[in-house]
Amino acid sequence: MNSVFITGGTSGIGLELAKKYLAQGWKVGVCGRDQSKFDENFTRDYQNLYYYPLDVADREALKKAVHEFSKPTGLSLIIASAGISYPQKTKIPDFERTYKMVHVNLLGVMYAFEAAMEIMIPQGSGHLVAISSLAGYNGFPGISGYSATKSAVMKFCESLSLDLANMQIDVTCVCPGFVDTPLTQVNHHPMPFLVKVDKAAHIIVKGINKKKRVINFPFIFSCLVKILALMPRWMFQKVMSQDSFNYSRKEHK
Ligand SMILES: NC(=O)c1ccc[n+]([C@@H]2O[C@H](COP(=O)([O-])OP(=O)(O)OC[C@H]3O[C@@H](n4cnc5c(N)ncnc54)[C@H](OP(=O)(O)O)[C@@H]3O)[C@@H](O)[C@H]2O)c1
């Protein structure tokens, strides 16, 4: 039986992915800290659904849950979707929040992959997926901590996809632009090319099925972000200093 463990599967992108895999008859494990989100969002009684209340920054708890979920079926796929960001953009980083993002957005992905690899390497198959962000392609103003964690996740996946290629383990890094979820519904700044969460999950599942190494979307926004990434850094600095490109300026002069 196909099985997928989704961190942060109780809301937003993770929730939508969980529903898609449940609809396809997969065994699905989800985790999150707040049980009420699970109760509220999974109203149907799914036989193949397992919930683990935990914080992904707790390495041992996550490892225990992934191992427990994988017995006796093994683990086909893990999607590390749990992540946090903050609506306030600041020029001076809020370091407490930055460290929290490192724990959840970066270490949370590493802990998830570590646990999954302990199962997938001996079983000789598996697929590791992390939800990064288009924000990881450049150091964007006002979100230094978020950009840094997402950029690190991209590079972590890139290295692993090379290292695990001969072990029959695929690695996919998903880089969405803005997706309409509780995470972004609190943002005050414009969110160009906003994608509906159902469409986002559809694109992600399709890319995972194709075993793509990187899934960037939406197309036009990802092209713009990649052009910014290719620019000499002095040019990037000039572009991002323009008022129209630098949304953090409007909130924090
Ligand atoms: N929405 C976007 O525009 C967008 C764009 C690019 C990338 N992303 C990335 O996509 C991923 C999912 O975001 P989303 O928009 O779906 O957010 P969301 O709706 O806020 O969902 C986040 C999920 O992660 C869980 N979570 C958060 N912190 C956790 C922790 N410490 N331990 C365990 N679970 C935790 C939440 O449950 P609990 O609160 O109950 O723990 C929830 O299930 C994130 O990594 C985000 O950075 C989102």
Q: What is the pLDDT of residues 185-220, one digit of tens each?
A: 998 888 999 999 999 999 999 999 999 999 999 999
Question: Any idea which residue has 């992540």 for tokens?
Answer: 83
Cβ(84) to ligand 1 under 6 A?
yes
- Ligand 1 centroid to Cα of residue 242, in Å, is 30
Question: According to CATH, what is the number of the domain 3-251?
Answer: 3.40.50.720
pLDDT, tens only, 118-176: 999 999 999 999 999 999 999 999 999 999 999 999 999 999 999 999 999 999 999 99
**pTM to 2 decimal places:** 0.96
Q: Any idea where the domains of the chain sit in the sequence?
A: 3-251
Burial label for 206, CB within 10 Å (0-12, 13-18, 19+), is: exposed
- Higher-pLDDT residue of 12, 188: 12
Cβ(56) to ligand 1 under 6 A?
yes
Residue 249 confidence (pLDDT) above 70: no
Tokens found for residue 166? 């001969």
| Residue 190 pLDDT | 86
State the Cα–Cα distance between residues 116 and 78, nearest whole angstrom: 7
Burial label for 166, CB within 10 Å (0-12, 13-18, 19+), is: exposed
| Residue 251 pLDDT | 52
**175-195 burial code (b ≥16 CB/10 A, e <16):** bbbbbbbebbeebeeebeeeb
| Residue 235 pLDDT | 96
| Residue 253 pLDDT | 44
Helices (H), the chain: 12-23, 35-41, 59-70, 95-101, 108-123, 144-163, 197-209, 219-230, 233-241, 247-251
The pick from 28, 30, 33 for probing ligand 1's pocket by mutation, whose C-beta has the most ligand atoms within 8 angstroms, reads: 33
Residue 79 confidence (pLDDT) above 90: yes
What mean pLDDT, rounded, does the chain reach? Answer: 95
Residue 248 confidence (pLDDT) above 80: no
Residue 22's region, left for phi above 0, alpha for psi from -120 to 50, else beta, is alpha
